[in-house]
Amino acid sequence: MKIIKGTCVDYTHDGRGIIKHEGLPIFVDGLFIGEEADVEITYERKDYAVAKIKKLYKLSKDRIEPRCKVATACGGCSFQALAYPAQLAFKKRKVSEALRKLGGIDIEVDDVIGMDDPYFYRNKTQMPLGYDQQKRLISGFYRRSSHDIVPIDTCYIEDERAAGIMKKIKQAMKDNRIEAYDEDKRTGVIRHVLIKTSHAFNEIMAVLVTNADSFPGRGNLTKSIKEACPEITTLVQNINTRDTNVILGQKENILYGKGFIQDKLHGLTFNISSKSFYQVNPVQAEVLYDKAIEYANLAGNEIVLDAYCGVGTISLIASKKAKQVLGVEIVKEAIDDAIKNAKINKIENVRFYAQDVTEFISEIIASKQAIDVVIVDPPRKGLDESFINSIIKLKPKTFVYVSCEPSTLARDLKLLSKAYEVKKVTPVDMFPQTYHVETIVLLFLK
Please say whether the beta carbons of 46 and 23 come within 8 A: no
Dist. CA 354–CA 352, nearest whole Å: 7
Alpha helices in 306-405 (DSSP H): 313-318, 332-344, 357-367, 385-394
**Is 387:308 a contact under the CB 8 Å cutoff?**
no
Query: Could you tell me if 385 and 412 are in contact, meaning their C-beta atoms sit under 8 angstroms apart?
Result: no
Largest CA distance in the chain: 67
| Helix and strand numbers, DSSP H then E, in the chain | 10, 21
Nearby residues of 93 by Cβ (< 8 Å), 6 or more positions away: none
Q: Given 68, 74, 77, 404, which residue is catalytic?
A: 404
Nearest CA to 80 among 8, 133, 32?
32
Give CA–CA dist 84/381, Å, rounded. Answer: 27
User: ∠ at Cα 13 (398, 23), nearest 5°?
Assistant: 135
Active site residue 404: yes
CB 263 within 8 A of CB 311: no
Active site residues: 404
